[in-house]
Structure 1
Amino acid sequence: MKMCIAEKPSVAKEIAHVIGATVRRNGYMEGNGYCVTWTFGHLCSLQEPNEYTEKWKQWNLSVLPMIPSKFRIKLIDDEGIKKQFAIIEELVSKAEMVINCGDAGQEGELIQRWVLTKAKCNVPVKRLWISSLTEEAIREGFDKLMESKDFDTLYAAGSARAIGDWLLGMNATRAYTLKYGNGKNVLSIGRVQTPTLALVVERQKNIENFKPETYWEIRTDYRGGLFSYTRGRFNTKAEAEALLEKIQTQELEILSIERKKAMESPPKLFDLTLLQVECNRKYAFTADNTLKIIQSLYEKKLTTYPRVDTNFLPNDQYAKVPGILKGLKPYENLVQPILTGGKIKKSSKVFNDKKITDHHAIIPTGVFSYDMSPDEKRVYDLVARRFIAAFYPDCEIANTTVMAKIGEEEFKATGKQIIDPAWRVVFGVNTDKQNDENVLPVYEKGEHGPHTPEILEKETQPPKYYTEADLLRAMETAGKQVEDEELRDLMKENGIGRPSTRAGIIETLQKRHYIRKDKKRLLATPTGIELIDTIQNDLLKSAELTGQWEKKLRMIEDGKYEINGFMEELKVMVNEIVHRVKYASAKTITVVPEEEEKKKTTEKKKRTASTATPAPVLICPKCGQGSVVKGKTAWGCTLYRKSCDFLIPLSIHEKKLTQKQIDTLIQKGKTGTINGFKDEAGNSFNGILKLDSNYQLYVERPKN
């Protein structure tokens, strides 16, 4: 009997169906020479300190650091887990071969190896390595089962990560709690959570300490084109007024016109972080919520494996593209131009074997189902459109730069015009060569004439508070501000955390009351700020240094770094942290109870509500029975999830919608023209919100 072990019952069910194990047993399925069982994620964990020695049972600064000579695993103390493990243990004892069908990644490898180790598995082990749960992918995976030893370095990296987190978390948390927690408050310290918190605290301090400075700029309007003074800003209004007076009576003369055509590639395919960023930006989904949704789509066989950190596909995936595109039924009008336009585009910005790690980018599988929740439809739509756009031609644009002079002073105007939208049509850009940015009038070199100058008074702006999207990006680049996408890719190996764990880190910081959400902003609490101020050891709170540790874990995974060397470095680090805390001067960090914070917020809301004008009742336009109310992430029908699925996101195309706009939309089916929407490339445009015949929200651009 060959025994297969998957990470979840739902995955086991899909595998069992494909390989013919159709007889249901207690805790497994059987048939065709196979039995298929499952874990529930982690069944095992590293032992607690007191399970190694009695002296570590009590929290005592004098016994730190706690460094076991050998780490041991244990079964998690839960009746359901114990019951399932007993079934696994019995199946392992009878198996002639075990097939590890865990999630194909570092965490999945660690989960299954620990379970098989605890079950005393001593028969040959094979590895199923797949990127989607379609029948075709599972069959291909079983045809190409791999040797378990080929993934020993992957397991070593996962093991090193778990041990590193134990060593740092257990020792630093106890040390800081005992020194600064007043014997009551547990101060949680983590290898990834603490530098992430430090990013939020540092940004917040920069904002609070920011002192705005006033400056002045001069621009002038010449025949509908806006020209800016090339020497930039003035520090005093008098300087600006002197120049204004000087140029006011002189004519503007065109010196040169430069019009450059350029091509813009389609946006990159999604990795997990980029998808979480986009969902937060567009729909205000939390990172954790996005991960749950895309995991659900994966388990429904609609998208590929989600916990990935690459935006590329392997070259052998190219042959499967036509089949995937044909399966995207609701997008036939967008897919047909690709399938009927000759050879399908193959770009090195999409297909690159060297950029593939465990898995490729998140894409549709080509299997489609209408069995999706409204939120799943939104996320699926993002993934599908990105994939489709990758095979469209590049967008052709024209960048225009016009240089001019007024007397001896130089001015410049710039404009951008979309000549051929190409891939942009996939995201709803009009095909009538819509101009998204300032398009300048036609000028001729040497022409001159009167102009209308003006002085603009401005202030320097502080940095913005982190949103979840911003923080995910910062974690990806170890806190460095990087706009260039290629450079960002190079920095991924130094990011803090992994794509699959970053959402959980942000959630943990909120649960421990170190950060809180204020609408889309993430704010550090007084406790979080005080904790970071107390930590003097840069190793604990530096995103860059933590990123270097993350890189070493990746090197272990690639077989380029020895786990023993990593463990020795960890022990030195833990010793240094404990030593510094022991001999530092003591103070107490006050943890503000979450209940107290919630009470203050509730009281504030009550005061606001008592003075507010009652809002009109909006009857749901779809069912006509419920009413439309505002929730945390969307406006929706009060009968949502019962008999109606009507929803409107809080923001669309980066434009936050107002109550007044929603009122108009519900009552009239459309709004007036709204400014400030943004397309995939970040360009602003105007639009009208409308509800289609299925009561789905969309943006219509007014025709020129």
Structure 2
Amino acid sequence: MKVCIAEKPSVARDIARILGANKSCDGYMEGNGYQVTWTFGHLCELKEPNDYSENWKHWSLAALPMIPPRFGIKLIEDEGIKKQFAVIEKLYHAADEIINCGDAGQEGELIQRWVMQKAGVKCPVKRLWISSMTDEAIREGFASLKEQDVYQPLYLAGLSRAIGDWLLGMNATRLYTLKYGNNNYGKGQVLSIGRVQTPTLALIVQRQKEINNFKPEPYWVLATVYRDTQFTATKGKFTSKEEGEKAFSTIEGKPFTITNVTKKKGTEQPKQLYDLTSLQVDCNRKYGYSAEMTLNTIQSLYEKKLTTYPRVDTQYLPDDVYPKCPQTMNGLFQTAFAGKRPYAELVKALGGKPLPKSKRVFDGSKVTDHHAIIPTGIPPQGLTDAEKNVYNLIARRFIAAFYPDCKFSTTTVIGEVDGIEFKVTGKEILDQGWRVVFATPNATKETGITEEQSAGNGDASGKDSSAVEPVSEVTLPSFTKGETGPHTPTLTEKQTTPPKHYTEASLLRAMETAGKLVDDDTLRAALKENGIGRPSSRAGIIETLFKRHYIRRKRKNLEATETGIALIDTIREKLLISAELTGIWEKKLRDIEHKKYDAGQFINELKEQINNIVNDVLADNSNRKIGQGDVNKK
């Protein structure tokens, strides 16, 4: 008998149906030579400190650092989990072969490996590895099962991550709580420290301090209106009013002369396909969805077979997906919401010729376990409003990837008055290209969402927050070099503005690039290797910071609380708060997954770092305490 195990009952039912295991039993399905069972996500976890030593049961500085000689796992304390594990264990012991059908990622691998270890599996194990839950994908996956050993590096990376989080989280949390926590409040205040959550909090605290300490400074901008067009002085800002007034008096009453007119044609490529982070960013900007809500929604779309595997950090597709794209387009052509087919005309425009195959879309060298998030081509039905919105973004991004570049013309006009130079720039769209995919009027209504529901969710910066920024067309009058005439100068006083608070969108980008502010897509992709946290874990990290009352949400802005600021101020060890250093750890974990780094070396380095952190904190003779602040405010 072959035993298949999935990560949740709904996935197991789909697999069982395709395999012909149609008989329902207690905790599994059976038939056609297969038994199909399931976990409920994690059934096992790393043992807690008191499972290793009686001395570690009670919180004590003298017991630190806690470093087990060998890490072990145990069943999570839950009656439902214990019952299901007993079913799995019985099936495993009688199996001729096990097929691991867990989610095809690091966490999914870890979940199933721990269950197999706990059950003492001895028989051969194969691995089902698929990127979508369509019937076709499942059948193809079972036709090309992999040996479990192929995914050993993936398991070692997941195990190293779990052990690393245990070592740092357990030790640093007890260390800082006992040393610096204000424990005169009932059960005391736990100061939670995490390998990813603490440097993420540090990013928010640093930005909060920059805003709190910001002192606005005045500056003056010299501009002039010539032929109903405003030109701005190229010298930039004047830091003193006197300097600005002097320049103003120099040009007042004197003629304005056009000295140069240049026109330059340019192109803009389609946006790249979505990875999880870019999807979460757009959903936060456009709809105000939290990172966690977006992750839950795209996971639901995946399980409904409508989109591909969501927990990905690549924006490319492998070559073997290309032949399937016309079929996907056909599914989008047929898709209807509330009786309307929002993608039909867009897909129709691509018909009659082969889809273009761009290296910006198809590049197997930039795809590891899974490819970018795309629709599967199965027409959706019965979606919630949130699911429609997320699906709409993914569908339009996929369609746009096969459209031509947007073509535009940029006109730059330079003028001069008595030696002072002025400039104005205008932009004209010559051919919308891929932008036509996002230019549909009332696109939100086509997906069943009213304008009122989607209004008011702009980015906190005040910029337009649509998933694709509109091009501001500024068509200038026709100017000729050498022409001259009267003008109306202005001197405007302005003030410097503070940095903007993080939103979930901008925080996700900062986590992806280890705190570096990067707008360029290519450079951001290069920095992903050293990002902090995995795409799939970042939403949970942000939610943890809310639950710990280290940050709060004010409209779309993220603000650090008094407790969050005090915690970061107390931490002296750069290793705990530096996004860059944490990014280096993440890079090592990725290298373990790709067989470029040794898991044992990673753990040993971490043990040494934990020892150093404990010794440094214990040597602190100050009486610093983190006040209760607003930690108890709900």
TM bucket normalised to smaller: over 0.9
Q: Distance in 1 between matches of 2:618 and 2:421?
A: 63
How far apart are 1:268 and its partner, in Å? 1.4
Q: Identical aligned pairs, as a percentage?
A: 61
1:369 aligns with 2:380: yes
How far apart are 1:593 and its partner, in Å? 5.4
Structure 1 residues 45-64: Cα deviation after superposition (integer angstroms, max 9, x where no partner): 00001111111111110110
What is the one-letter code of the residue matched to 1:356?
A: V
Q: Distance in 2 between matches of 1:580 and 1:84?
A: 45
Q: Distance in 2 between matches of 1:20 and 1:576?
A: 57
Aligned position for 2:349: 337
Structure 1 residues 9-32: Cα deviation after superposition (integer angstroms, max 9, x where no partner): 111111111111111111111111
Aligned position for 1:396: 407
1:173 partner SS: helix
The correspondence of residues 343-382 of structure 1 with structure 2, limited to 5 A, is 343-382=354-393
1:365 partner SS: coil
How far apart are 1:404 and its partner, in Å? 1.7
2:494 partner SS: strand
Q: Distance in 2 between matches of 1:300 and 1:126?
A: 25
Aligned position for 1:292: 296
Q: 1:11 to 1:414 in 2, by over 3 A?
A: same
Structure 1 residues 616-666: Cα deviation after superposition (integer angstroms, max 9, x where no partner): xxxxxxxxxxxxxxxxxxxxxxxxxxxxxxxxxxxxxxxxxxxxxxxxxxx
What is the one-letter code of the residue matched to 1:587?
A: R
Q: 1:441 to 1:429 in 2, by over 3 A?
A: farther
The correspondence of residues 380-529 of structure 1 with structure 2, limited to 5 A, is 380-428=391-439, 436-529=472-565
1:586 aligns with 2:633: no
Structure with greater contact order relative to length (CA < 8 Å, sep ≥ 6)? 2
How many residues get paired?
A: 593
Structure 1 residues 551-610: Cα deviation after superposition (integer angstroms, max 9, x where no partner): 000000000000111011101110011111111123221234555x34xxxxxxxxxxxx
What is the one-letter code of the residue matched to 1:553?
A: L
Structure 1 residues 351-400: Cα deviation after superposition (integer angstroms, max 9, x where no partner): 11111122111110001122101111011101101001101111001111
How far apart are 1:285 and its partner, in Å? 0.5
What is the one-letter code of the residue matched to 1:300?
A: K
Aligned position for 1:604: none
Aligned position for 1:677: none
What is the one-letter code of the residue matched to 2:124?
A: P
CA contact (8 A) 1:312 1:360 kept: yes
CA contact (8 A) 1:185 1:590 kept: no
Aligned position for 2:590: 554
Aligned position for 1:17: 17
Q: Distance in 1 between matches of 2:71 and 2:55?
A: 17
Aligned position for 1:102: 102
Could you state the TM-score of these two structures normalised by the residue count of structure 2?
0.92
CA contact (8 A) 1:224 1:440 kept: no
1:327 partner SS: helix
What is the one-letter code of the residue matched to 1:558?
A: H
Could you state the TM-score of these two structures normalised by the residue count of structure 1?
0.83
What is the one-letter code of the residue matched to 1:511?
A: K
Note the residue ranges of structure 1 that are not aligned, 5 or more in a row: 599-704
Q: Distance in 2 between matches of 1:523 and 1:357?
A: 36
Structure 1 residues 165-206: Cα deviation after superposition (integer angstroms, max 9, x where no partner): 000000000101111113411111000000000000000000
Aligned position for 2:155: 155
Q: Distance in 2 between matches of 1:435 and 1:215?
A: 29
Aligned position for 2:311: 307
1:176 partner SS: helix
2:350 partner SS: helix
Aligned position for 1:270: 274
Q: CA RMSD in A?
A: 1.2
Moved more, 437-446 or 38-47: 437-446
Note the residue ranges of structure 2 that are not aligned, 5 or more in a row: 335-340, 442-469
CA contact (8 A) 2:563 2:630 kept: no
Aligned position for 2:452: none
How far apart are 1:226 and its partner, in Å? 2.0
CA contact (8 A) 1:322 1:339 kept: no
Aligned position for 1:202: 206
What is the one-letter code of the residue matched to 1:275?
A: L
Q: Distance in 2 between matches of 1:227 and 1:253?
A: 12
Moved more, 198-207 or 416-425: 416-425
What is the one-letter code of the residue matched to 1:91?
A: L
Moved more, 569-578 or 174-183: 174-183
